[in-house]
Amino acid sequence: MALFLGLGFGAVQAGSSGAPPPQVTGKLGSPSAATTIPGNQLPAPAPKFGGVIKDDAKNSTAWWPPRVVPPRGAPNVLLIQIDDSGFGTSSTFGGVIPSPTLDKLAANGLRYTAMHNAALCSPTRAATISGRNHHTMGFGVIAEASTGFPGYDATITPDRATVGRILKDNGFATSWFGKNHNTPGWVATEVGPFDQWPSGYGFEYFYGFPVGETDQWTPYLFRNHTAIFPWQGQPEGTWNLTTAMANEAIDYLRRIDATHPDKPFLLYYAPGGTHSPHHPTKEWIDRISGLHLFDEGWNKLRETIFANQKKLGVIPPDAKLTAWPKGPPANLKEWNELTADEKKMFIKQADVFAAYHAYTDHEAGRVIAEIERQGKLDNTLIIWLQGDNGNSAEGTTVGTPNDYAAYNGIDVPVKDQLALFYDKWGGPETAPHMAVAWTWAFDTPYKWTKQVASYLGGNRSGAVISWPARIKDKGGIRNQFHHVIDVVPTILEATGIPAPEYVDGIKQHPIEGVSMVYTFDKKNADAPTTHKTQYFEMIGQRAIYHDGWYANTKVAIAPWDNNPGIKLPNVLDYEWELYDLTTDWTQFEDVSKRNPAKLKELQAVFVEEAKKYNVFPLDNEGFQRFLRPRPSGSPGITEFSYVAPISIALGAMPPYLARDFTVTADIDIPQGGAEGMLITEGGRFNGWGLYLLKGKPVFTYNLVDLHRFRWEGAQAIPSGRHTVVFDFQYDGPGLAKSGTGVLTVDGVEVAKQTIPHTVPAVEIMDEWMDVGYDTRTGVDDRDYKPPFRFTGTIHKITFKPGPPEMMEEQMKRVAEMNAKGRD
């Protein structure tokens, strides 16, 4: 302990939490010395100077502060989280989609059959990186639907440090690749603040997208806090983020190995797959299509998956397959009820989804192969979460070539999908999602889907843990009940690092999960779970697990139901069910009528847990909360002014939905004329743009890639200074109403038309507002290809939105659809 005190940590930490003496490497005071820290205060206090200081350097003794390192033998950590993948999707858990990387990992480690999540992506991710429940972390729902209550404000407060911060301050290299849906929109800009970005959470390197989804061909992509566009200059369809992200992670691992080969890493790998849009490469589509995995349809697929699951032992032999949904609130067609055209189109949808899944698995495998090449795989703890919720049911009952159409409540008929998009499905010209019936099948053997926190189909996903140096029961199966809040405690125990009591001087909220390390030993394969109680809540739907029993509310409205006339019951009046999961693995038989006392007991447990973890107040308005007041990246601004070239991030873009708006461009045209983009919001799948094409002014309004309305002047604008204005008058109140647009040059009308419909609900969510160029996709591919830089001079562009023209009930409906889209 004398050494411990000598490092200068004693004033705050000596004796606290029974902290062991530090592990010192090298001679203290030498430039190469390293030490562990007690870890209950982050950052650790600076050590006392241990040298000698005299009047002159000759008679003084230098002393360098030791480098902070993790405990000896601490493993590297690779945390992989797949998006929108149901329990029955991967071959590792009985699915038909080839998943060789995950299969290999499971053969070298353990499969967990009862891992649970929050049933929606950003809430699950907040829980995963913190070890605390999603309401504790302020993510009771996605940030876009946040409200001003502690469990729902989408703000990770300083008293809830993530695993990134904990491991970083204990000497790990920390990084985050891929999806980041935990940075709320009002700070998701290049000027921050960055306390709610991965860097603010302790992840030193970030390469990914701070939104719920993005196009994989031309993504909304950042390196740390700076937007990047690495696909520019390459032929369309040749660059894909799924591969680029793996390349970036591999490069990062190589840089660590080259510069600090002894430094362990925490790498959080969160690919876009398999969230919509489903964007695999053509090679993967062809490969999966050639296997004919889905030719017999979704009902047969469920039976096949269910049989596979029993053979693998990932469900018990006596487990029962839940019924196909027939009747409200879920009513899905069976395969034999479909036409030949419907079957053809739906098979294509499933092939592309499966290709995206297999492609994602393959690219993650390349990252693992790099760790193995470096000789570090044996001491790398890999935690692979095969889903952050159940499979997504946001593609409508018929699927869609453009998920913006689905989010706006627009069904694209199957005949149009076949005629216009069949051969393009999954490529850069589509943003596809599959029919809900496939979703239900990929959640086999459970009921329901993503968003439904009350049923296992929404909140149960497979997981695999591998750590060759520690886990010797290769290929073992673990059936203990666990939750993603158990990931961080597992990492901390495995690395020998304690949860801190203080971070930056702030007392820390306790970790709420439990470690799963006890399951690593074969002798504990059938040990009782240490996770005894767990609540679930999302959008008013709720459940409680307690000592093998499971009580839950029934679903009031299906996640894919876009009927605005549905009236929800009072959130406190939901009907409850009861299941004994010790004998009923799949929630097959409701036993509430036979066990009313047990149901009442569990309901009381839910209330107790809800009070403890900030779940109240319950709110079943669903995503209608989206339009409630919340912080803004540009609060109170009624007119936006820009100079070029500049791109405006999502959190600061002005609105144009269901309202008047005016765009004014003050420009100079050089001798010989000019063309290029003046200002655009959105792109190929939704949005608008004002630009000059061969000198002529053009305004294009892209109605979710289904129709493009166009205003164009007859004459090219001559050289000199000019003012181009597009003024749109909306025929509200109401949704998707008509409107009249007038395009003028120097006050003279050059084009005018009234359009019958406008975008109903969901504006663009993964493209910039660009001024002076177009950084992602164009609003009309027939006119130009990005970046389409303006060749004249832009002095100023202003955008002036009017107030929204929606009735209260319509605003609620818009909110629901919009936030669904953003997740």
Give yes or no for residue 628 having a pLDDT over 80: no
Give the span between the Cα atoms of 760 and 654, in whole angstroms.
17
- CA triplet 121, 127, 131: central angle to 5 degrees? 160
Residues 6+ apart with CB under 8 A from 267: 76, 77, 78, 79, 175, 177, 249, 252, 253, 367
Could you tell me if 358 and 90 are in contact, meaning their C-beta atoms sit under 8 angstroms apart?
A: no
Give the span between the Cα atoms of 796 and 704, in whole angstroms.
28
**What is the model's pLDDT at position 766?**
85
Lowest mean pLDDT among 125-134, 387-396, 518-527, 763-772: 763-772
Lowest mean pLDDT among 351-360, 410-419, 629-638, 749-758: 629-638
**What is the model's pLDDT at position 624?**
57
**What is the model's pLDDT at position 822?**
47
How far, CA to CA in Å, does 716 sit from each of 267, 317, 670, 692, 695? 54, 74, 12, 8, 4
- Phi-psi group of 3: left, alpha or beta (phi > 0 → left; psi -120 to 50 → alpha; rest → beta): alpha
Phi, psi of 418 (to 5 degrees): -65, -45
**What is the model's pLDDT at position 820?**
53
pLDDT interval class at 651 (50, 70, 90): confident
Exposure string of 586-620, with b = 16+ CB inside 10 Å and e = fewer, is: bbbebebeebeebbeebbebbeebbeebbbeebbb
Give the span between the Cα atoms of 335 and 390, in whole angstroms.
22
Give the span between the Cα atoms of 446 and 409, in whole angstroms.
27
Give yes or no for residue 108 having a pLDDT over 50: yes
SS3 letters across 733-762? CCCCCCEEEEEEECCEEEEEEEECCCCCCC
The residue-averaged pLDDT of 142-149 equals 87
**What is the model's pLDDT at position 192?**
87
Give the span between the Cα atoms of 433 and 435, in whole angstroms.
7
> Token pair for residue 434?
């599959």
- Phi-psi group of 119: left, alpha or beta (phi > 0 → left; psi -120 to 50 → alpha; rest → beta): left
> Token pair for residue 630?
């919340």
Give yes or no for residue 768 having a pLDDT over 90: no
For the chain, what percent of residues have pLDDT higher than 70?
93
pLDDT digits (tens, 9 = 90+) for 41-97: 999 999 999 999 999 999 999 999 999 999 999 999 999 999 999 999 999 999 999
pLDDT digits (tens, 9 = 90+) for 579-624: 999 999 999 999 999 999 999 999 999 999 999 999 999 998 755 5
Q: Which one has a higher pLDDT value, 317 or 732? A: 317
How far, CA to CA in Å, does 317 sit from each of 91, 306, 321, 585? 18, 10, 11, 10
SS3 letters across 309-333? HHHHCCCCCCCCCCCCCCCCCCCCC
SS3 content of the chain, % helix, strand, coil (to 5): 25, 20, 50
**What is the model's pLDDT at position 127?**
98
Lowest mean pLDDT among 469-478, 562-571, 655-664: 562-571
Exposure string of 34-53, with b = 16+ CB inside 10 Å and e = fewer, is: bbbbbbbbbbbeebeebeee
pLDDT interval class at 11 (50, 70, 90): very low
Closest C-alpha to 351, from 428, 463, 274, 411: 274
**What is the model's pLDDT at position 284?**
98
| Cα-based torsion angle of the residue sequence 528, 531, 533, 536 in order, rounded to the nearest 10 degrees | -130
pLDDT interval class at 763 (50, 70, 90): confident
**What is the model's pLDDT at position 6?**
40
| Cα-based torsion angle of the residue sequence 614, 617, 621, 625 in order, rounded to the nearest 10 degrees | -70
**What is the model's pLDDT at position 311?**
98
**What is the model's pLDDT at position 627?**
58
> Token pair for residue 576?
């409850």
**What is the model's pLDDT at position 818?**
53
pLDDT interval class at 198 (50, 70, 90): very high
**What is the model's pLDDT at position 16?**
42
**Mean pLDDT of the chain, nearest integer:** 93
Could you tell me if 546 and 602 are in contact, meaning their C-beta atoms sit under 8 angstroms apart?
A: yes
**What is the model's pLDDT at position 129?**
98
Give the span between the Cα atoms of 39 and 60, in whole angstroms.
32
pLDDT interval class at 2 (50, 70, 90): very low
Could you tell me if 569 and 556 are in contact, meaning their C-beta atoms sit under 8 angstroms apart?
A: yes
Give yes or no for residue 4 having a pLDDT over 50: no
pLDDT digits (tens, 9 = 90+) for 508-554: 999 999 999 999 999 999 999 999 999 999 999 999 999 999 999 99
Give yes or no for residue 569 having a pLDDT over 90: no
